[in-house]
Structure 1
C-alpha cells in the first residue's frame, strides 16, 4: 500500500478526504493528517509518505514552502495541491516545483479519482525505474572484476586515453594508479600452454586462471602495489607501481618467489618477461611490449626463466636460413642410416639458429618442418612410407607446432630421425631375428608392469603393426601370447615357494587383478594357482 499524508487547515476538508474517499481501491492508505505545513513536514519526515495532498494556503508554513522542503528531504514523494479558484495562478506557478497536479475546491471526487490514478501510475513508474537501476547497479558490481580486467587490458595497449577520462575510470573501478608515477609491466606465461590447456575442460581452465591470478596477486601485495589480470589464455600481465627505488630492487626476488610458488602449488612452469620502466601511465604500452618481447626469448633461452630485454645480448640483423646443401646432406646421412652424424648435423644447424636470436617462433618451427619433410621425402623414395608412418609423421608435426623452444624442436627432430635411421636399418639388413630378440629382452625386463605392444614398439623405434607382424612370422606366436607365456613361467616358479601369497605372485607377474590372473593361469596350465601348488608340493 502507498502511504498518503493530508495537510489542510480546514477540518471539514481534512475529515472528508480522510474518511469519505475509498483510498484502498487505489492501493493507498492514509498514514497521517496535519492542519498546517509545519506539522505536515514533521509527520512527513517521520512517516515517509509516498504522496502528500496539501492545501496551498495554510498557517505557519504554506503548501508552497512545504513542497520545497519535501522536495529537498524526500526525493521520491509525489505532491498534490488543493486550492481555491482565487489561487489558480499561484498554484500554476507552484507546479514548477515538480508537483504532480492540483485539485480545486470545492473538491470534485470524480476529478480526484482521475488525479489519484495518474499519481499511482507515476509512483509505479518510479518503482520500475528504481528496480531497473538497482538491477543495473547489481550487475555493475558483479561485472566489476571483468570491467577492471578490460580496462587494464586497454591501459597496456593504448595507455588509457585522455587524463580526465582516465581519472574518472580509475575512480569508478576503484583502481589506485596515479597518473604521475613510475610503473613497470611483466608478462607471466605458462610454459607449454598448448599441451597443458588444450586437453582441459573449460571449467578447469577457468579454475587454473583464477588460481594463477590469485597467487600472483598475493605475491605482489606482499611486496608492492599492483594488479594482475589474464590477457589471453596462458598469459597473465602484472602491472606494478614502483613507489621507491627499493621496489626496483625487490622486483627480481619477487618474481622468483612468484615462479617458485606457482610451480609448488599448481605444478606449472612459467616464463616471466619484465618490461622497461614507465614514467607515466601513458607509457605502459611500451613497457608491455618490452615484457612480451623478453618473454618471447624463451624460444632461445629455454623455459622456466625470468627474462629482461636489458639482460639480452644484441644479435645480428640477419636471419639464419637453411640451404639446399644442408637439406641434401641431411638426406644423405639419413639414407646411410647414420644417426650419429645426422644428430651432429641437426645440433649444429640449431646452434646457428639460436645464435642469431632474431627469428620468430613460427620461423623456427617452419625450419624444423623443412628438415622433417626431407626425412619424409626420403622414406617415399625408399618405399618405406606407409599408412602407419603417415600417422606417426602427423603426430610429430602436430607436436612440433606446439613446442615453444628451439631445444625442444631439436630433440623432437632427433627422435624423428632416429626412427627413420632404425627403419632404414631394418629394411636394409632385414634383421628380423634382432627385432624378435629385442622384443623378448624388453618383455623379460618389463613383464611385471602394465606392458603394451605400443610400449614395446616405441622402445625399438618401429610401428606396432610392423612389430606384431614380424614377431608372428618369426616365432609363430603373437606378442601377447609370448608375454602371457613368460608371465606364467615366472608364476609357476614362484608357486613353488610357499612364502609367496597368491596375490603377491599375481602382482609380481603383471596382473593387478588376482582373479583375472587365476583365470589366465588355469587357461594356460589347466589348473588354478591353488590347485597347481597343492598338486606339486
Structure 2
C-alpha cells in the first residue's frame, strides 16, 4: 500500500474523495487529511506519505506554495493538484514543481481512479528499479575507480605521507577544494534487513542511494571500507556540519522508507587539513557505535551527543582494554563486569612473573588515566597519584585488583551516563529559555533554535520530543498560546494586537491556532472568563 495525504480547506471534499474512490483496490491508503498547507507540512514531517493530493486555493498557504515546500524537503513525494478551471493555466505554469497530474473540478471518481492507476505503476516501477538485482550489480560496477578508493582508504588510516599528498591528488584527479572536511560512515544493519533481499545487495543499494542523494550536495568522495560506505565530504564552513547531520538523517529515513534498509550514519569531527581525516574517521566510527544507546535509522554526530568528548585512541594493550573502555561508554553494568573479567583473564592472570605483573599494572594505570582525561572524567578517582596507586595495586592479589577495577569502571560508567543526561537537559533548558525570550518573533522556528545552539535539527527534534513529550513547534505554539490567553484575560488589547505580540501577523491564523488549542475563539475565551 502506498500512502496518500489529502489537502483541502473544504472537509466535505476530502471526505467525498476518500469515500467515493476505491483506494484499497488501487493500492493506496489515505493516511490523513489537512485543511490548509501549514497543517499539511506538520503532518508530512510525521507521516511522510508517498503522494500528496492538494487543492490550490486554501488559507494560510496555497497548494502551489505547499508543493514547492514538499519538493524541496521531500523530493521523493509525488504531487497531484486538483483545481477549478480558472486556476488551471496558473497551475500548469508551475512546471518546475514536477506535478504528476492536474485534475479539474468538479472531481470525478473515474478520472481520479485513472490518475492513480498510472501513478501506482510509476511508483511500482521506481521501487522495482531500486530493488532489481541486475541494477544493483550495475550500481556496484559504477563505484569509484579502484585507485581512488585505495587512496581514500589509505588517507583515513593515516598512511599518506604529507610530502606525497599533492602527488596523489593530482595523479588521481581528485577535487579537494574544502576548505573544511569531515568523514561520514553509512552503516547498513545486516540483522534488520528485509527477508526478501540479500543483505549484500541491500548494502550496495544503500551505497548507490548515498551517491545519488548526498555525494553531489556535499562534494563527497564515496568508497567502501570495512563493510560500510564511507564518504569524505567538503564544507564551506565548520558550522555547516549541523546541516550535514540533518541531511544524513533525512537520508536514513528515505532509504528505510524506499527499500526497508535500517541505516545509521556517523558524522565525524570537522577538520581543515586533509591529513586530519584520520581523526574525523575515528570519531565517525565511534558515533556509529552509539546506536546501541540512541537507536538506528538516524544520523549521529558525536559532538552533539557528547560535546566535550575528545577523539578516542586505541588502548595500548589492544583488544581487551579497548573493549572495556567501549563498554564503559556504551554498555550496561553487566557488560562492564564481563569486560573487566575478560581483561583480567587475558592480561593479568596469565602473567607468570612478578615483574610482568607489575608492568601490566603500570600499563593499566596509564591507560585508565588517559581514558579519563580524554573523556573529562574526574581523575581524582585515581587517588594518591600514579606512584602511590602503583604501589597499592601492584601489591594486590588478582582477585582484589579485579574488585578494585570493577568498582572504578562502574563509577566511570555512571559518570558517563550522567554527563550525557546533563548535556541533554542543558540543551533543552537553553532552548526553552530562547523561546521565552524570543517568542514574539514571527519567524522563530526550528532552524533558528538549532543555529543558536549549534546542533542539527534532527538531533534536537529527537531529544526535545523525548525529554518534553512535545515537538519543538508544538512547545513554541503552546507557549505562545499561553501568553495570548493570559493577555486576553489580563488586558483590554485587541485580538489582532495580541496576535502580533505573540508572533502572529495574520490574526485569522492566530484565531485558528488558538481555537485548536483551547476549543474556542480568542473573543469567546475572553468573554467566558469575564462571565466566571
Same fold (TM over 0.5): no
Q: TM-score, normalised by structure 2?
A: 0.31
Q: TM-score, normalised by structure 1?
A: 0.30
Q: Which has the larger radius of gyration?
A: 1
